[in-house]
Structures are given as C-alpha cells and as structure tokens.
C-alpha cells in the first residue's frame, strides 16, 4: 500500500497498481548468487567512513563495524564455526548485537536469533533442534545462560580476543548463495517450536526487490527498534546495510518511552522507519524528518494513514 497515486514519479518507473495492490517490477537482476556478508563487504568498500550505526553517544563507521565484526568472526572460525553451522544470537538490543549478527554472517554460518527476554529453556530447545554449534552472547547475559549444554561465547570478550589472523573467505570453505543465512523459530504455541531456514539467495533477493519500492538510500537514517527475533528486522537492518544508510539504534528503555521518542527521532534526523502499525500509533508526536514509513504485520487503520501520510512522505 502506498499513500500516493501510482502516477507519482517516484513509483511510476518502478511499480504499478493492480487490483488495489502495489506490485514491483519483474527484474531478474534482483536475484543474484550472493550472500549477506558479500553485500555488507560491498557497502564497506563504497562507504568506509560513513556512519553505519548510532546508539546514544556511540557512533561507528562502516569500516569500524567491519573491523569489529571481522575480529568476532575470526574468533568464531577459531572455534570451528563455518558454512553449514548455526550459531545462536542472544544479546541486548544495541550496536553490539548488530555487529555480532554481521560477524556470524562473515564466519559463513547462519544465526539463530533470540529476543532479549527469551527464557533459557526455549533457547536450549531451539539450539538443540537446530544442532547449533554454540551461542554468541554478551557479558551481561552470561548469567542467564549458565548451565546451557552448548558452548557460550561472549562477543565482547574472549571470542573477539581470539580473532587474530586472516579471515578466510567463507566461499573458500564451502559457502554458497544456497547456504542458510539465518533461522527463525515459531512460537511453539501449538507444540514444539519449528525452525524455518532462510538462504542467502532468498534474503538477498528480498532485500533488493523490496528496496526497489521503498527507495532507502545512503542519505537515510533508519530507525532500528525491532527485535532481531522478528523477521521484519531483516529489512529494517539489512536494507540500510546494503545501501550505506545509517542505523539509529534504540534500546528497550528508549523504545518504551513513546512520549519522548518523537523528539529523539527528530534530533537524530531519522528519515525512515519500518515497524508495525501498533508501535507507530503509540508515537505521541510527528517526526517531520521522516520521508519513508513502512508498516506491516497487521492491519493499518485509515486514521494512521491520515496521520502519517502527510507533507510528501511515502507510507507503505
């Protein structure tokens, strides 16, 4: 859904409306034999000094993120992690979590994300079902997973310190675009949680195809507040990583303060947000800097469209 008619010049060359729905073009170039780590590497080569992530007073360029993620990836490889393996990902919301996600991609393995509030029993069940190699976490979460029957690696501690030497290209160790990039597990409300494996080819295809409509580019500042255990986070995080945009990363405390959040977003110059209608509706004020709003996962009420589809802003 778009807030503008199909004749608008931004959309007319890229999409068309059929039966009330917006459809992207058929473009085989979106489907490439590539991986997420290769997409990120290309961005680093194009925008090494550009700010990739902001969390509070912390700012990291793409080159700095790459350096940190490479060190963690080396540590994982030294622990025997590589293509075909699964690594659990369990950290608090923030830059450290996003860097760790990139690191797993660089190692050639797939990540299995857990929300910061996930109970240890569910983590254990999912890790066992996925035959995971271990769990990448933070120093702050070590006490939460004490006694887990899997290797536990703190990304900011020993695992990064062991990350020395050359990081061998995952393709040289057997990775391909058909290798699994990440896994998502169902809630398990009807029984045992079920895992879904997403290949690098499919997620990279999705990122390129969807952004042909959204139009996120290197000048954008993307709001990053979604849990990595929710697959919506892939377009929220990886489209910016693909095009060289900046991720403005919010922690749980900031996200919960919906009264103060719009002012913080304005100060940060946030230009794009990808979220669910429920969260968008909770914002207690407008953010004039926003140029692109993407919502999904549930019905979007007309009142929300009327409120946010203003001032030339695009709402999908």
Kindly report the three-state secondary structure assignment for every residue of 123-172: HHHHHHHCCCCEEEECHHHHHHHCCCCCCEEECCCHHHHCCCCCCCCHHH
Question: What's the token pair of residue 314?
Answer: 């695009």
pLDDT at residue 10, as a whole number? 38
pLDDT at residue 164, as a whole number? 63
Q: Do the Cβ atoms of 32 and 205 come closer than 8 Å?
A: yes
pLDDT at residue 12, as a whole number? 36
Instruction: Return the closest-CA partner of residue 250 out of 219, 232, 226, 272.
Output: 226
pLDDT at residue 45, as a whole number? 98
Strands (E), 51-107: 51-55, 58-61, 86-90
Same fold, 9-32+204-315 and 62-202: yes
Structural domain spans, the chain: 9-32+204-315, 62-202
Question: What's the token pair of residue 126?
Answer: 């999912």
pTM over 0.85: yes
pLDDT at residue 210, as a whole number? 93
Q: Do the Cβ atoms of 106 and 124 come closer than 8 Å?
A: no
pLDDT at residue 295, as a whole number? 94
How is domain 9-32+204-315 classified at the CATH fold level? Rossmann fold (3.40.50)
For the chain of 316 residues, list the mean pLDDT of each consecutive stretch of 10.
38 57 80 95 98 97 96 92 97 95 97 95 95 95 94 80 75 94 86 90 96 96 94 95 98 86 95 94 91 94 93 92
How is domain 62-202 classified at the CATH fold level? Rossmann fold (3.40.50)
- Any idea of the CA torsion for 153, 154, 156, 162, to the nearest 10 degrees? -30
């Amino acid at each position: 859904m778009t807030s503008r008619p199909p004749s608008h010049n931004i959309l007319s060359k890229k999409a068309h409306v059929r039966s009330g729905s917006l459809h992207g073009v058929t473009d085989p170039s979106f489907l490439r034999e590539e991986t997420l780590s290769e997409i990120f590497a290309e961005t680093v080569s194009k925008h090494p000094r550009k700010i990739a992530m902001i969390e509070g007073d912390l700012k990291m360029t793409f080159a700095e993120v790459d350096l940190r993620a490479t060190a963690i990836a080396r540590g994982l490889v030294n622990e025997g992690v590589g293509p075909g393996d699964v690594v659990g990902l369990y950290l608090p919301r923030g830059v450290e979590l996003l860097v760790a996600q990139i690191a797993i991609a660089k190692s050639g393995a797939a990540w299995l994300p857990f929300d910061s509030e996930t109970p240890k029993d569910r983590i254990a069940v999912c890790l066992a079902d996925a035959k995971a190699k271990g769990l990448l976490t933070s120093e702050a979460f070590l006490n939460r997973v004490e006694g887990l029957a899997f290797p536990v690696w703190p990304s900011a501690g020993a695992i990064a310190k062991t990350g020395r030497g050359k990081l061998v290209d995952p393709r040289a160790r057997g990775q391909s675009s058909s290798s699994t990039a990440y896994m998502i597990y169902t809630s398990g409300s009807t029984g045992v949680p079920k895992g879904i494996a997403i290949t690098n080819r499919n997620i990279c295809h999705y990122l390129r195809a969807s952004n042909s409509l959204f139009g996120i580019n290197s000048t954008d500042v993307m709001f990053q507040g979604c849990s990595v255990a929710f697959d919506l986070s892939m377009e929220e995080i990886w489209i910016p990583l693909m095009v060289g945009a900046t991720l403005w990363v919010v922690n749980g405390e900031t996200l919960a303060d919906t009264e103060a959040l719009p002012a913080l977003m304005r100060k940060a110059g946030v230009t794009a947000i990808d979220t669910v209608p429920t969260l968008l509706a909770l914002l207690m004020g407008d953010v004039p800097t926003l140029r692109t709003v993407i919502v999904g996962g549930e019905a979007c009420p007309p009142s929300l469209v009327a409120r946010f589809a203003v001032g030339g802003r695009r709402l999908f």
